[in-house]
Amino acid sequence: MGSEMCIRDRSDDAFKVPGKQMNYVNRKPIGVAGLITPWNTPFMLESWKLGPALATGNTVVLKPAEFTPLSASLWAGIFEEAGLPKGVFNLVNGLGEDAGDALVKHPDVPLISFTGESSTGQLIFGNAAPFLKGLSMELGGKSPAVVFADADLEAAVDATIFGVFSLNGERCTAGSRILVERSIYEEFVEKYAAQAKRVKVGYPHDPATEVGALVHPEHYDKVMSYVEIGKTEGRLVAGGGRPEGFDEGNFVAPTVFADVSPDARIFQEEIFGPVVAITPFDSDDEALALANNTKYGLAAYIWTNDLKRAHNFAQSVEAGMVWLNSNNVRDLRTPFGGVKASGLGHEGGYRSIDFYTDQQSVHITLGGAHNPTFGKN
């Protein structure tokens, strides 16, 4: 693998002035890419970074999350079987403050792609600054799902249940704030709470399981602390503790708080667990203000059958990704990333090619030199 690898580039990478000049962009691998990945969907997110980094000719150092080292260890065997030369893929396990920090501060690693918490992203940004490293960071979220009165109520309930409780709520794009138009608010809350209570909590080997245990006791304690905070900030309508029959382990019952004020901590802060806050609104303008009223801007979900409203709201909401009447399904060629505290830069499709390569402009004259002559006479 190397700079000779053929990569399908965008159409703006070659320009011709007939009879005068050819111009093209030569993409070159940057060198060593440091990839720091999270624990919530480890193998998938590692693949999102490894694929384009290697395809563009870079070598990589993968530092997986300390909670999920086993799936990352599979990559070495996969790449060996595929015939990747030794030393192109490198795996380093360790704590973020040790192994991750060393990778970020290493002078021979010019590129860092990080997925994780916003606070960690801020540290990486500061530590990488003296080296002027290339950075791509997909960080935290507190994504709104906005349900208007003209929406398909059943579809909206189903999707917003899945949107926050799938992956145990341990997902950056979770729709953990649900904003509902007041005329359907009580009906929505009633249906939502009833369905949340029916979500099946269980063990991974049970095919019926819909929500499992959280990743680690430390994270369980954090999520449960937010549940207790929520009991002082909203109306508990489902969950609020351990699910029935699970006296041990990191299990949290799907928890729903209604009537949550926008200044509440459970409205503003990323919980990263099966906990959701529901808030009413009275107008499109209020819905937009509530949707944008956090430091995050990763995803947004809009439920309405009004086409003009859907497009206008999508273009005004502060989010890197927007889903209309749908939930989390996307073409992997589209950009993935957020705005505000949810990230820096985007990856996916040609944007990954841009990130993992240096772009060198090459200009070739097809006739005489274009420049005027100085100093001859």
More confident residue, 372 or 309: 309
Count helices and strands (H / E) in the chain: 11, 16
- Please determine, for residue 2, whether its predicted confidence score (pLDDT) is greater than 50: no
> What is the rounded CA–CA span in Å between residue 319 and residue 313?
11
Distance CA 355, CA 48 (A): 13
SS3 334: coil
Residue range 164-191, pLDDT digits in tens: 999 999 999 999 999 999 999 999 999 9
Distances (CA, A) of 251 to 177, 221, 256: 21, 10, 15
Instruction: Measure the CA–CA gap between 188 and 190, rounded to whole angstroms.
Output: 5
Average predicted confidence (pLDDT) for the chain:
95
User: How many Cβ atoms sit within 10 Å of the Cβ of residue 254?
Assistant: 27
For the chain, which domains are there?
A: 11-138+356-363 (3.40.605.10), 144-324 (3.40.309.10)
Kindly indicate the confidence band of residue 376, based on its pLDDT and cuts at 50, 70 and 90. Answer: confident
Contact 339, 318 (CB under 8 A): yes
Distances (CA, A) of 212 to 253, 264, 319: 10, 27, 28
Closest CA to 113 of 133, 131, 97: 133
- Convert the pLDDT of each residue in 137-169 to its tens digit: 999 999 999 999 999 999 999 999 999 999 999
pLDDT in tens, 99-114: 999 999 999 999 999 9
- For residue 5, pLDDT over 70 is answered with no
pLDDT(7) > 60: no
Q: State the pLDDT at residue 9.
A: 47
Q: How far apart are the two ends of the chain, measured CA to CA in Å?
A: 52
Across 32-61, average pLDDT: 97
182 neighbors 281 (Cβ within 8 angstroms): yes
Q: Give residue 208's pLDDT.
A: 97
Mean pLDDT of 264-274: 98
Please identify which of the residues 46, 170, 172, 181 carries the catalytic annotation. Answer: 172
Q: What's the CA gap between 27 and 361, in Å, rounded?
A: 9
Q: Catalytic annotation on 138? A: yes
What value does the CA radius of gyration of the chain take, rounded to a whole number of Å? 24
At 13 the pLDDT is 81
pLDDT of residue 32: 98
Question: pLDDT tens digit string along 223-253?
Answer: 999 999 999 999 999 999 999 999 999 999 9
Rounded-to-integer distance, Cα 331 and Cα 339, Å: 19
Query: Torsion angle, CA of 233/239/244/250, rounded to 10 degrees?
Result: -70
Give the pLDDT band of residue 4 (cuts 50, 70, 90). very low
Mean pLDDT of 325-345: 94
The DSSP-derived string for 226-283 is HHHHHHHHSEEEE--SPPTT--SSS----EEEES--TTSHHHHS---SSEEEEEEESS
Pairwise CA distance, residues 46 & 343, whole Å? 17
Query: Considering 138, 181, 270, 318, which one is annotated as catalytic?
Result: 138
Residue 172: its pLDDT value, please?
Answer: 96
6 is catalytic: no
Task: Give the residue from 136, 137, 199 showing the smallest Cα distance to 169.
Answer: 199
CB atoms within 10 A of CB 310: 17
Q: Is the pLDDT of residue 6 over 50?
A: no
Task: Tell me the pLDDT tens digit for each residue of 271-296.
Answer: 999 999 999 999 999 999 999 999 99
Residue 51's pLDDT band, with cuts at 50, 70 and 90, is very high
